[in-house]
Structure 1
């Protein structure tokens, strides 16, 4: 209800726009009396492109009607009688209107609520409590557009008034011209009169004819000047129309498309399409009014030809108006909902195209059919250069034809492709090291329709964002890399689908951060330390200074073509593995700040050795895609007084489908504090699985529990020494100098072999083999130590 209260405070043009949202399709009284109920419903959770959601929409409709009927019954007294009848009527009206198409009701209410929110936000930005105008650049630009529309409206109204005056003047001119012809006819008929009568009548008629001809001569010059002045005013209007259209189509619409592309990487894709449509409809209305005025000027000129350049001027005006309206119609055929950019064959997908001026130009009176075909880069280039007049295809899309539908509630003309499927794809020859997941295609949508009683015929086309076609889920990772790079670094107006081969490191970090935050549904993205860690991995560097990477560039090959040193996977494959793991299983722990993640083995060791035994942290595995390990500090069982850092074998998605991270941490009693000093139960207890219930029907349920053999003792109480350690820094003798590199290998392979296999690793193996074979190796151990 808070939104409705704010909406009622709108003034001026914003109030008129808000009122225009309502009508017979959804009365404003319904919005008023059910404001709280309407705003409490989750309209946005209904997927308009999924027919299966119709049942959910039907429940919302039934509940709305029931609420309205209940509100009507509550009205009492003399004043409430009429309202009771009115609300009951609205309940029946909504039921009959939307019962067969409940999704249209949802579409209508979503449109209303989003529009109200936009109007309220804009009004809030424009005015502040002290009366000082506080507008950002966006608001200023929108205000400029609205002011220009007002200028155009006044200019169009002015030329309309002048045209009417011209028409009246011309009609009177024609009447006087006919009068002059009548006088000439009378003079010709005087021959039958007597000389005396003829002289008297002739003198009067000659005088009258002279007066009329003099007026006609003067008025002809006036009419011609009037026509020329009107043509000049139309030229000024067209110049302003073209400027306004350039601002809307070449800036606002292009920026909307850019936001839509970045949304493919997880960026915020704020609406704004309804605002663009309202502007484009105003343009279409003004252009059409001016076009009609030009046609009337042509008719007047044909009706009364006068010497002068009018015909040439009208031809130019006609060319201008045709150019403007053609550009408007072809540019406003847009893709509202893009097809998936990683497109798997034999898999259903959806898309929505929309003509922003369709309703205003009455295109829906003869709704056009839209066809979708898939084309490759070369075909897309030819289409944009107008080198190809027919739609060549690089594959076969099933269910690729759809008729555009007009939605009365929202005033939109769109085609919803709900069940398309790519049956097959024809690939082109690849260049050099390029893989199939680097090849880009695009879905071409095209339609043909006419406006103005078939006066103007338009063949419109629009290309989707680049798509990468895959045939197996294993290709998804690399295909996503191609899409992310394209979305992040594509330039406006590029040749399809060229992107830079190298970008600055900080630009890539912005793209990765956007993707990461979107997948985590969190504002906690990649910190500066995280980005330094990623830079070290990408460039095989050891520098911890962020400034060292600021001017460095990373190539596509470094990103996702060449494997990382000593690994069989690329930088992106490692990063994407982390994202998938976090998204599927660890999102709440990341958002709680429980996972450090982007920490290497040496850093983890340095951090933990300054903390008491039992302190642990969670970091991503360096050696495995989509792996996370637990590192903790504990006593070295083989050397009294020596402390060391242990690393558990990395967990992957497969592990977490068996038992969750929180439960695994709960199982390990030797893990006491999450780095730096948070008791583990304080962090993870809310995610523990509740204890198993008692036996049912005589059966006892089994329980899975994680065990690390070397640390199977019961949960220890902190010793006096440990308590003292909390307040004291470890002395150099507290750790063996070589303990930084000590990572014992456990008997059940639960400990992480992550990292290089160095001398210390061989000693650990030797010690372990000694335990297994019971062979004395003291001499060999001593010689190696020396």
Structure 2
């Protein structure tokens, strides 16, 4: 319930995002009234990709329904009547909705709880007070780990002390045993003495022998007990070592790897590897100390065999601790810097692997060689199942071997592959509609080294994150989609490289928002309205209610295999085109809040018609990848008194490489206010290109400027040339393409309409016109125009 209490304290956009998690698929009232029960259930224990887990999910569903019915029955009085009816209705609704697919209920609740946790954590990081709380939480976890290490250190020190006592006791026992043998030898030699002397000496020696033998019998029993006690202590220490190692490798290291994977989608860059290394090195040190102690115990047992199970116990301890150190070494051979997940052939790439315990185990004394090979998804599966003893390759990587280097300053042992290149790739047979950009490979790094003077030999392997191999830049878009889907929805410990075929829409929204913010280098991500627009596009829906989409699932095919209705591109291709356009040319304007972007034509018209003439906004083109258009409200030049919303033909990267957005907006004097009411110069003036300098050496540098003929006021500076005296302002009854620069003859086609969509192939090639511009005898032309 603690999380729900924190979630209710969210404010602003975080509160809206939290509310958007709920809807008909899971009403917020259920979350509120069953908060404690919901947070106490083991939702994460259900493997959503395993159909055999369905009975467990069914029990959770039945318990949820029963809890709702119980809660409903507890409601009494006039105020509780409506709530009683509502909770009973929700119980029936859950039963009918999820009875045949209980895993979907678990998936839904897991997503809600994880999203709430993320929102609460982000809100926590936003304030100094709660940042302190987050740090306290982190410190508590680190403190628990450090306390466990201290407990292990004390336990190891105690067994070391006990082992020394045992060794001293055994050494004294051996001395006394030798004394007993000497006495027996003396007794055997008495036969040569006279009878009187022999009797006296024999009596003394037999008394002494009896005393020594009694002591030896008692001491042997004591030594046996010491050995058993010491073995029990080692057994207890090994249990603590396993627990600590599981916490570090199966939780902390796995979380680090998950953060590293999400960083591929734009998540926060993974950190904490040095802390992990320090923990792993402490583990290695403690494990090695205990292993040496166990081996010394074995030596003592061999030196003085005593009846009992010691040999079997020590053999088991030795085997167990060897397994522990093997698991530590093989798990800490990791990829510090992943190779690019979209890997183009014949292109240089880099990667770094690191052995977290290499320095502690002195592996660098004989530096191992690391080899990199690229393997297919099927080969990766076989490797993890130990079905393949040798590394088959699906391609050829140049410069694929590297020696691990020890860096004294940081204490790290790593291999830096700086100049690898994929020379060729061997693809497998594709399945169904799968394209080459959906085929996943992985880079396998492997090495072999020994520790303890060749006492133990390790063959270590580690797989990179999935990579998609392309041969041409045109494949990058679709390959990125495969990588994004895999990074976002891969489960820890999966079989390579299984991902769900469909996910809840809010899960995809989280991934898209992460990607967008990372590419824009901004905290301004996708708002709820933006996500509703994307949902409308993805599902071909007209609903403006975000709750209508929270329970919907989107498949991989809808994401990037099937084209959007009436288009020749997919949902992802359109979204990625927007991201690329914004990243390359419009990032400052997005961060300033000047671009609404995710607005369709009808919404733009409804928004602008209530505003004064000259109000405009910027929205992304629906029909073109990577296009953005200006929509504005103005009177119809051909019908005075009639107001219309106009849309310029979309700009693309090509257009902005010639003239920036800010300068284009500056060119158009009929654009006055950025929606809703901000003067355009207030928003864009800081991005305007400074005026041209005066003529140098008798030459005047020409200037490019755009004009929309029907909206070029003859009395304005745009027409008269007061601001730009060398611009030929020619009006036309038709509306020109935004790339129709004033020095060119106006185009006869009416290329701007109320929709603002167009085909690039039908437009004029701007670069060609610029080239013509530079070849014309402009001075004479300007002279005649000025006169």
With normalisation by structure 1, the TM-score equals: 0.77
Please say which of residues 634-643 and 533-542 is displaced more in the overlay: 634-643
Cα distance, 1:139 vs structure 2: 3.2
- 1:738 alignment counterpart: 739
Cα distance, 1:254 vs structure 2: 0.6
Cα distance, 1:91 vs structure 2: 75
Taking a change above 3 Å as real, the CA distance of residues 112 and 186 of structure 1, as seen in their structure-2 partners, is: farther
Q: Secondary structure at the match of 1:36?
A: helix
**d(CA) in 1 for partners of 2:520 and 2:250?**
34
Does structure 2 conserve the Cα–Cα contact (< 8 Å) formed by 1:333 and 1:355? yes
Instruction: Spell out, residue by residue over 1:25-62, the C-alpha distance to the aligned partner (whole angstroms, 9 max, x if none).
Output: 99999999999999999999999999999999999999
**d(CA) in 1 for partners of 2:97 and 2:368?**
25
Taking a change above 3 Å as real, the CA distance of residues 45 and 507 of structure 1, as seen in their structure-2 partners, is: closer
- 1:111 alignment counterpart: 111
Does structure 2 conserve the Cα–Cα contact (< 8 Å) formed by 1:770 and 1:777? no
Taking a change above 3 Å as real, the CA distance of residues 94 and 588 of structure 1, as seen in their structure-2 partners, is: farther
Q: Secondary structure at the match of 1:133?
A: helix
- 1:497 alignment counterpart: 497
Does structure 1 conserve the Cα–Cα contact (< 8 Å) formed by 2:536 and 2:542? yes
**d(CA) in 2 for partners of 1:185 and 1:127?**
86
- 1:727 alignment counterpart: 728
Taking a change above 3 Å as real, the CA distance of residues 647 and 46 of structure 1, as seen in their structure-2 partners, is: farther
Cα distance, 1:189 vs structure 2: 1.0
Taking a change above 3 Å as real, the CA distance of residues 23 and 756 of structure 1, as seen in their structure-2 partners, is: closer
Please say which of residues 86-95 and 269-278 is displaced more in the overlay: 86-95
Please say which of residues 363-372 and 110-119 is displaced more in the overlay: 110-119
Please say which of residues 35-44 and 321-330 is displaced more in the overlay: 35-44
Please say which of residues 726-735 and 140-149 is displaced more in the overlay: 726-735
Taking a change above 3 Å as real, the CA distance of residues 616 and 300 of structure 1, as seen in their structure-2 partners, is: same
Please say which of residues 140-149 and 321-330 is displaced more in the overlay: 140-149
Does structure 2 conserve the Cα–Cα contact (< 8 Å) formed by 1:600 and 1:622? yes
Q: Secondary structure at the match of 2:650?
A: coil
Cα distance, 1:638 vs structure 2: 2.0
- 2:571 alignment counterpart: 571
Taking a change above 3 Å as real, the CA distance of residues 754 and 561 of structure 1, as seen in their structure-2 partners, is: farther
- 2:774 alignment counterpart: 773
Q: Secondary structure at the match of 1:131?
A: helix
Please say which of residues 120-129 and 2-11 is displaced more in the overlay: 2-11
Taking a change above 3 Å as real, the CA distance of residues 299 and 757 of structure 1, as seen in their structure-2 partners, is: closer
Does structure 2 conserve the Cα–Cα contact (< 8 Å) formed by 1:667 and 1:706? yes
- 2:587 alignment counterpart: 587
Gaps of 5+ in 1: none
Please say which of residues 124-133 and 516-525 is displaced more in the overlay: 124-133
- 2:375 alignment counterpart: 375
Q: Secondary structure at the match of 1:130?
A: helix
**d(CA) in 1 for partners of 2:368 and 2:89?**
36
**d(CA) in 1 for partners of 2:458 and 2:239?**
23
Cα distance, 1:10 vs structure 2: 33
Does structure 2 conserve the Cα–Cα contact (< 8 Å) formed by 1:375 and 1:393? yes
Please say which of residues 498-507 and 15-24 is displaced more in the overlay: 15-24
**d(CA) in 1 for partners of 2:408 and 2:29?**
19
**d(CA) in 2 for partners of 1:783 and 1:126?**
63
Does structure 1 conserve the Cα–Cα contact (< 8 Å) formed by 2:649 and 2:758? no
Instruction: Spell out, residue by residue over 1:371-400, the C-alpha distance to the aligned partner (whole angstroms, 9 max, x if none).
Output: 000000110000000000000000000000
**d(CA) in 1 for partners of 2:27 and 2:349?**
35
Taking a change above 3 Å as real, the CA distance of residues 18 and 436 of structure 1, as seen in their structure-2 partners, is: closer
Taking a change above 3 Å as real, the CA distance of residues 21 and 474 of structure 1, as seen in their structure-2 partners, is: closer
- 1:7 alignment counterpart: 7
**d(CA) in 1 for partners of 2:375 and 2:729?**
68
Does structure 1 conserve the Cα–Cα contact (< 8 Å) formed by 2:58 and 2:102? yes
Alignment of 1:380-459 (within 5 A): 380-459=380-459
Does structure 1 conserve the Cα–Cα contact (< 8 Å) formed by 2:735 and 2:750? no
Cα distance, 1:499 vs structure 2: 0.7
Cα distance, 1:734 vs structure 2: 23
Taking a change above 3 Å as real, the CA distance of residues 53 and 305 of structure 1, as seen in their structure-2 partners, is: closer
**d(CA) in 2 for partners of 1:200 and 1:659?**
122
Please say which of residues 775-784 and 561-570 is displaced more in the overlay: 775-784
Please say which of residues 677-686 and 84-93 is displaced more in the overlay: 84-93
Taking a change above 3 Å as real, the CA distance of residues 537 and 388 of structure 1, as seen in their structure-2 partners, is: same
Taking a change above 3 Å as real, the CA distance of residues 749 and 457 of structure 1, as seen in their structure-2 partners, is: farther
Please say which of residues 776-785 and 488-497 is displaced more in the overlay: 776-785
Q: Secondary structure at the match of 1:483?
A: helix
**d(CA) in 1 for partners of 2:408 and 2:676?**
60
Instruction: Spell out, residue by residue over 1:472-519, the C-alpha distance to the aligned partner (whole angstroms, 9 max, x if none).
Output: 000000000000000000111111111111100000000000000000
Taking a change above 3 Å as real, the CA distance of residues 438 and 148 of structure 1, as seen in their structure-2 partners, is: same
Taking a change above 3 Å as real, the CA distance of residues 485 and 24 of structure 1, as seen in their structure-2 partners, is: closer
Cα distance, 1:269 vs structure 2: 2.3
Q: Secondary structure at the match of 1:90?
A: helix
Taking a change above 3 Å as real, the CA distance of residues 33 and 452 of structure 1, as seen in their structure-2 partners, is: farther
**d(CA) in 2 for partners of 1:41 and 1:31?**
13
Please say which of residues 544-553 and 738-747 is displaced more in the overlay: 738-747
Please say which of residues 691-700 and 613-622 is displaced more in the overlay: 691-700
Instruction: Spell out, residue by residue over 1:580-621, the C-alpha distance to the aligned partner (whole angstroms, 9 max, x if none).
Output: 000000000000000000000111011111111111000000
**d(CA) in 2 for partners of 1:242 and 1:688?**
64
Please say which of residues 395-404 and 39-48 is displaced more in the overlay: 39-48
Does structure 1 conserve the Cα–Cα contact (< 8 Å) formed by 2:489 and 2:499? yes
Does structure 2 conserve the Cα–Cα contact (< 8 Å) formed by 1:745 and 1:751? no
Cα distance, 1:754 vs structure 2: 3.8
Taking a change above 3 Å as real, the CA distance of residues 486 and 561 of structure 1, as seen in their structure-2 partners, is: same
Q: Secondary structure at the match of 2:423?
A: strand
Taking a change above 3 Å as real, the CA distance of residues 537 and 113 of structure 1, as seen in their structure-2 partners, is: closer
Cα distance, 1:115 vs structure 2: 30
Taking a change above 3 Å as real, the CA distance of residues 785 and 359 of structure 1, as seen in their structure-2 partners, is: closer
Does structure 2 conserve the Cα–Cα contact (< 8 Å) formed by 1:381 and 1:496? yes
- 2:125 alignment counterpart: 125
Q: Secondary structure at the match of 1:339?
A: coil
Does structure 1 conserve the Cα–Cα contact (< 8 Å) formed by 2:445 and 2:463? yes
Please say which of residues 262-271 and 733-742 is displaced more in the overlay: 733-742
Cα distance, 1:202 vs structure 2: 1.1
With normalisation by structure 2, the TM-score equals: 0.77
Cα distance, 1:145 vs structure 2: 1.0
Does structure 2 conserve the Cα–Cα contact (< 8 Å) formed by 1:645 and 1:743? no
Taking a change above 3 Å as real, the CA distance of residues 64 and 757 of structure 1, as seen in their structure-2 partners, is: closer
Cα distance, 1:758 vs structure 2: 17
Q: Secondary structure at the match of 2:132?
A: coil
**d(CA) in 2 for partners of 1:377 and 1:566?**
35
Taking a change above 3 Å as real, the CA distance of residues 4 and 213 of structure 1, as seen in their structure-2 partners, is: farther
Q: Secondary structure at the match of 1:740?
A: coil
Cα distance, 1:12 vs structure 2: 41
Taking a change above 3 Å as real, the CA distance of residues 395 and 130 of structure 1, as seen in their structure-2 partners, is: closer
Cα distance, 1:751 vs structure 2: 1.7
Taking a change above 3 Å as real, the CA distance of residues 550 and 478 of structure 1, as seen in their structure-2 partners, is: same
Cα distance, 1:138 vs structure 2: 3.6
Taking a change above 3 Å as real, the CA distance of residues 50 and 719 of structure 1, as seen in their structure-2 partners, is: farther
Please say which of residues 540-549 and 631-640 is displaced more in the overlay: 631-640
Aligned residues, how many? 785
Instruction: Spell out, residue by residue over 1:557-579, the C-alpha distance to the aligned partner (whole angstroms, 9 max, x if none).
Output: 10000100110000000000000
Gaps of 5+ in 2: none
Taking a change above 3 Å as real, the CA distance of residues 679 and 575 of structure 1, as seen in their structure-2 partners, is: same
Please say which of residues 91-100 and 111-120 is displaced more in the overlay: 91-100
Q: CA RMSD in A?
A: 21.1
Instruction: Spell out, residue by residue over 1:52-98, the C-alpha distance to the aligned partner (whole angstroms, 9 max, x if none).
Output: 99999999999999999999999999999999999999999999999
**d(CA) in 1 for partners of 2:559 and 2:779?**
48
**d(CA) in 2 for partners of 1:65 and 1:104?**
15
Cα distance, 1:698 vs structure 2: 1.7
Instruction: Spell out, residue by residue over 1:281-334, the C-alpha distance to the aligned partner (whole angstroms, 9 max, x if none).
Output: 000000000011011101111111111100000000011111100000000000
Does structure 2 conserve the Cα–Cα contact (< 8 Å) formed by 1:266 and 1:519? yes
Taking a change above 3 Å as real, the CA distance of residues 325 and 669 of structure 1, as seen in their structure-2 partners, is: same
Does structure 1 conserve the Cα–Cα contact (< 8 Å) formed by 2:637 and 2:711? no
| Residues 1:469 and 2:469 aligned together | yes
Q: Secondary structure at the match of 1:732?
A: coil
Does structure 1 conserve the Cα–Cα contact (< 8 Å) formed by 2:538 and 2:558? yes
Instruction: Spell out, residue by residue over 1:141-192, the C-alpha distance to the aligned partner (whole angstroms, 9 max, x if none).
Output: 2221111101000000000000000000001111111111111111111111
Cα distance, 1:22 vs structure 2: 52
Cα distance, 1:525 vs structure 2: 0.3
Does structure 2 conserve the Cα–Cα contact (< 8 Å) formed by 1:166 and 1:223? yes
Cα distance, 1:347 vs structure 2: 0.1
**d(CA) in 2 for partners of 1:546 and 1:511?**
17
